[in-house]
Structure 1
Amino acid sequence: MDKTCPEYDIQKIFSMYNPSKPNAYAQIKGGPLASCIKGTIYLYQLEDGVYVKAYITGIPNTNNQTSSFHGLHIHEIGDCTVGNKNDPFTNAKSHYNPTNAEHPMHAGDLPPILSANGIGILSVFTNRFTVDEVIGKSFILHEKYDDFTSQPAGNAGSRWACGVITYY
Structure 2
Amino acid sequence: MKYRFMTITLLSLATLASCKGDKKESHEVIEVVEVEEVEVIPEMQKLTLKLEPKSDSKASGSVVFKEEDGVVKFTAVIGGLDEGMHAIHIHDKADCSSADGKSTGGHWNPTNEQHGKWGAAEGYHKGDIGNFPADENGNGTITMSTDQWCIGCGDPKKDVVGKAIIVHQGTDDFTSQPSGAAGARISCGGIIK
Query: TM (normalized to structure 1)?
Result: 0.76
Give the alignment partner of residue 115 of structure 1, picking from 134, 146, 149.
Answer: 134
Q: Percent of pairs identical after alignment?
A: 31
How does 1:11-160 map onto structure 2 within 5 Å?
23-34=46-57, 36-59=58-81, 61=82, 67-83=83-99, 88-104=100-116, 105-116=124-135, 117-132=137-152, 133-160=159-186
2:128 aligned counterpart, secondary structure: coil
Query: Is 2:88–2:129's contact at 8 Å kept on the other side of the alignment?
Result: yes
Which one has the bigger helix percentage? Answer: 1
Greater gyration radius: 2
**What is the alpha-carbon distance in structure 2 between the residues aligned to residue 96 and residue 120 of structure 1?**
23
**Unaligned residue ranges in structure 2 (runs of 5+):** 1-40, 117-123, 153-158
Quote the offset at 1:138 in angstroms: 0.5
Paired letter, 1:102? Q
Distance in 1, Cα, partners of 2:77 & 2:60: 9
Contact conserved, 1:26 with 1:139, CA < 8 A, in 2? no
How big is the shift at 1:136?
A: 1.7
Greater fraction of residues in strand: 2
Residues 56 and 119 in structure 1, CA contact (< 8 A), matched pair in contact too: yes
Q: Which amino acid aligns with 2:114?
A: E
Displacement over 4 Å in runs of 4+: 15-18
TM-score (norm 2): 0.67
| Cα separation, partners in 2 of 1:46 and 1:32, compared to 1, 3 Å | same
State the aligned residue count.
139
Paired residue secondary structure (2:130): coil
Note if contact 1:24-1:135 (Cα within 8 Å) is conserved in structure 2. Answer: no
Q: Mind listing any 5+ residue stretches in structure 1 that lack a counterpart?
A: 1-14, 62-66
Structure number with higher relative contact order (C-alpha < 8 Å, ≥ 6 residues apart): 1
